[in-house]
């Protein structure tokens, strides 16, 4: 049995008691077999809007406390000039310890492994008293690079006492990265199952670097990126990963942002990158399930439980045959709705 077949078999074993996000989390936080180490399951983490803040800008970082954004990314990479990288690391380390992130996911984006800066980023950031919940890793082009990345993360964190695994979110930003994405996801799942330190649980599409790599010109509707985005969603869902869509650069054009966010959600993306606080409510609304969708999902789950109790097999609900993927989708909708209810 291949690694991917083994991993998907494991995921399906717990499909009836968890949503897609929780499947990945429960596998990756249970500890290695025979290790004697068991970490607490992580809460469901919605990533509808993922906001970037330059890591060297202390004033902007302090605003995280009031933004009510799902995920805030303190950036060491593209948002920081080359001569401010050291400052960004130190500022982020300080912010980790003094800011109250509340329900906002605390993320740090380090520099890529090929930049030669990632190891120093990790050493400084992970020396903070409070670790980030998630690390974003840009420009992952191969499974071999992922092996190097996970080794560095494990080495830096080996002496830290963790209550939860650190989540890793990987960027796809080149043609090579897209071509190799299946192998990257396969290895990411394998490494996560073996590790008590980290769990790969998301992908991000870096559209600007991708366009530059393939020589594409950006259009308003993004038709030139359709293939890449569809492939990214397909592979992410095959490996039960969250998948975050591209940035809408013109933050003042809110109507275009709203249309793009709705289409992105319809494609299967679970969230979108944002670069300005004004984009947050628009994006988070677009990626939130509607009351009608929540009602449908609860109905599917209730009908499934009734049929299970009666010993019946496949069944129809409102004229549609219900199978395991639809049940998983329904559970995921209800779980997300419960988590974001108070926001």
Residue 96's contacts (CB-CB under 8 Å, 6 or more residues apart) are: 74, 106, 108, 125, 128, 129, 130, 131, 132
Of 127, 221, 250, 323, the catalytic one is 323
In 10 A of CB 114, how many CB atoms? 13
Is 245 annotated as catalytic? no
63-82 burial code (b ≥16 CB/10 A, e <16) = ebeeeebbbbbbbbbbbbee
Maximum Cα–Cα distance across the chain: 66
Contact (CB, 8 A) for 201 and 241: yes
CA distances from 310 to 16, 17, 297 (A): 16, 18, 20
Rounded to an integer, what distance in angstroms lies between the CA atom of residue 33 and that of residue 221? Answer: 48
What the block records as the tokens of 120 is 């120093």
Contact (CB, 8 A) for 106 and 132: yes
Any idea which residues carry the catalytic annotation? 323
């Amino acid at each position: 049995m291949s690694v991917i077949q083994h991993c998907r078999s494991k995921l399906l074993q717990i499909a009836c008691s968890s949503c897609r996000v929780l499947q990945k989390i429960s596998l990756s936080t249970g500890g290695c077999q025979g290790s004697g180490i068991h970490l607490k399951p992580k809460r469901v983490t919605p990533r509808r809007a993922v906001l970037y803040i330059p890591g060297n800008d202390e004033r902007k970082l302090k605003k995280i406390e009031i933004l009510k954004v799902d995920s805030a990314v303190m950036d060491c990479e593209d948002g920081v000039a080359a001569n401010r990288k050291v400052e960004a690391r130190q500022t982020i380390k300080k912010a980790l310890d003094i800011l109250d992130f509340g329900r906002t996911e605390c993320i740090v984006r380090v520099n890529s492994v090929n930049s030669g800066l990632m190891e120093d980023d990790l050493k400084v950031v992970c020396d903070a008293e409070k670790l980030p919940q998630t690390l974003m890793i840009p420009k992952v082009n191969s499974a071999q690079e992922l092996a190097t990345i996970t080794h560095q993360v494990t080495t830096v964190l080996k002496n830290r006492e963790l209550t939860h695994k650190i989540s890793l979110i990987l960027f796809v930003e080149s043609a090579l990265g897209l071509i190799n994405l299946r192998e990257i996801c396969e290895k990411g799942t394998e490494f996560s199952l073996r590790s008590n330190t980290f769990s790969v649980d998301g992908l991000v599409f870096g559209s600007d670097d991708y366009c530059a790599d393939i020589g594409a010109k950006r259009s308003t509707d993004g038709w030139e990126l359709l293939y890449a985005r569809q492939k990214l969603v397909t592979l992410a869902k095959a490996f039960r990963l969250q998948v975050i869509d591209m940035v809408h650069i013109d933050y003042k054009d809110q109507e275009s942002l709203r249309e793009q966010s709705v289409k992105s959600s319809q494609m299967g993306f679970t969230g979108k990158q944002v670069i300005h606080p004004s984009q947050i409510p628009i994006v988070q609304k677009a990626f939130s399930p509607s009351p009608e969708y929540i009602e449908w999902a609860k109905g599917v789950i209730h009908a499934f439980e009734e049929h299970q109790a009666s010993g019946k097999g496949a069944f129809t609900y409102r004229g549609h045959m219900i199978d395991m993927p639809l049940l998983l989708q329904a559970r995921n909708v209800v779980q997300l709705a419960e988590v974001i209810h108070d926001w």
